[in-house]
A = this chain, B = another copy of it.
Amino acid sequence: MDSRSSGVIALPDGPQLQNAVGAANETSGPRTVPGRVIPVPASVSPAMQETIAMPYRDSEWRLDPPDAEGWRQAVAGLAAHTIPAIKKIRDRLGVRVEPITVAGVGCFEVHPSEIAPANADRLLVNTHGGGYVFNPGEACLLEAIVLAATSRIKVIAVDYRMPPDHPFPAAVEDAFAVWSSLVASHAPDRVALSGGSSGGGLAMATVLRAKQEEVPLPAALAIQSPWADLDEVGDSFRTNEWLDSVLVTYGAGPSRAAALYANGHDRGDPLLSPLRGDLSCFPPTILLTGTRDLFLSLTVLVHRKLRKAGVATDLHVVEGASHFQYFINPFAAESQDVLAEIASFLDRHMA
């Protein structure tokens, strides 16, 4: 489809456009940015280009179920689509998955084909992404499988309860119960925690909760594109709007998932929006994001806040990547590169 005919692009490139945009930005205030067709960047590998070029996924970014039953169907529909893709990645990476129960919570034990010698007694706990709503059961395994393989470490993936049946604080309760149980039976300095997107927010909330309850904290934290605030906090919600092909716009999927999960609770609660919490207790933390990520700003704001709190924190940004695309295509050179950063960071900070 010609984007010009859609009424989305206003003016052709050239001096006329420079004049119009210049005139619209000659005073202090908001920035006026013209409609554009932005090419797939030449600055990344062909594999990452293919991922960046992917169209919006219409079944996800605009989902707007009318009621709880509609949400259940949407979640099941997406899982049916996701699970086969995850199984392909699992098989390609030679990872083995086993369902287990920890502290009464459904989990998966995820075994890489080979555990690194240094990781023999180490454990990584993962809380999955999906807007706190999506990816139940085996659909929760993408990050756990990828991290098990790239870090060559055993991973426990937490299949925490979710809305519409179990809104906040069920997810935090489940993640905290699993965490507490695991650090009671493992040396805490050999257990790390990871999470991406909503799972990144949840992992951060789990640290805050563990601190409150005086339960041992993780030896290290690996956070990817964290949903660290449920409100539209961060410049990239606007600057990367429509450009991030995964999340697309806060006004569609994320705002609806936030409402469903928060379920009327105060979003200022750090267990819902950990960016607003006191992060000074945090263990060494590695953060990933992409330049087109709708959560670029959230990731940057978490980085700054942790650094100011004196926490050892590293930030890694993937050129051109929309939200979570380093997990969506874990085989691209750019993804392998930043996933290797996680492996190295965990190794450096675990006993």
Hey, which bits of chain A sit against chain B, CB under 8 A?
1, 3, 6-11, 13, 17-18, 20-44, 50, 53-56, 58, 61-62, 233-236, 238-243, 245, 249, 251-252, 291-292, 296-297, 300-301, 303-304, 307-308, 314-320, 334, 337, 341
A32 lies within 8 A of B37 (CB): yes
**Interfacial chain B residues near A292, Cβ < 8 Å:** 235, 239
By a CB distance below 8 angstroms, the chain B residues around A251 are: 13, 18
Residues of B within 8 A of A30 (CB): 37-40, 53
Q: Who on chain B is nearest to A305 by CB?
A: B337
Is A320 in contact with B235, judged by CB distance below 8 angstroms?
yes
Do residues A33 and B35 form an inter-chain contact, with CB atoms below 8 A?
yes
Chain B: CB-nearest residue to A234: B43
Q: Which of A32, A61, A304 has the most CB of B within 10 A?
A: A32
For A19, the closest partner residue in chain B by CB is: B6
B26–A55 CB distance below 8 A: yes
Residues of B within 8 A of A315 (CB): 315-317
**Chain B residues near A3 (CB-CB < 8 A):** 24, 32
Interchain CB contact under 8 A, A21 and B8: yes
Instruction: Name the contact of A26 in the complex, choosing from B1, B27, B40, B304 (C-beta under 8 A).
Output: B1
Which residues of the other chain, B, contact A239 by a CB distance below 8 angstroms? 38, 239-240, 243, 291-292
User: Which of A56, A61, A238, A291: most chain B Cβ within 10 A?
Assistant: A291
Residues of chain B with a CB closer than 8 A to A1's CB: 23-24, 26-27
CA distance A9 to B7 in the complex (A): 10
CA–CA, A317 and B318, complex, Å: 13
CA A31 to CA B235, docked complex, whole Å: 20
Closest to A301 in B: B319
* Sampled A-B contacts (28; CB under 8 Å): A6-B21, A6-B32, A7-B10, A7-B20, A8-B20, A8-B21, A9-B32, A9-B34, A18-B252, A29-B53, A29-B55, A30-B39, A30-B40, A32-B36, A32-B37, A32-B242, A33-B38, A33-B243, A35-B35, A36-B238, A236-B291, A239-B243, A239-B291, A303-B317, A307-B316, A308-B337, A315-B315, A315-B317
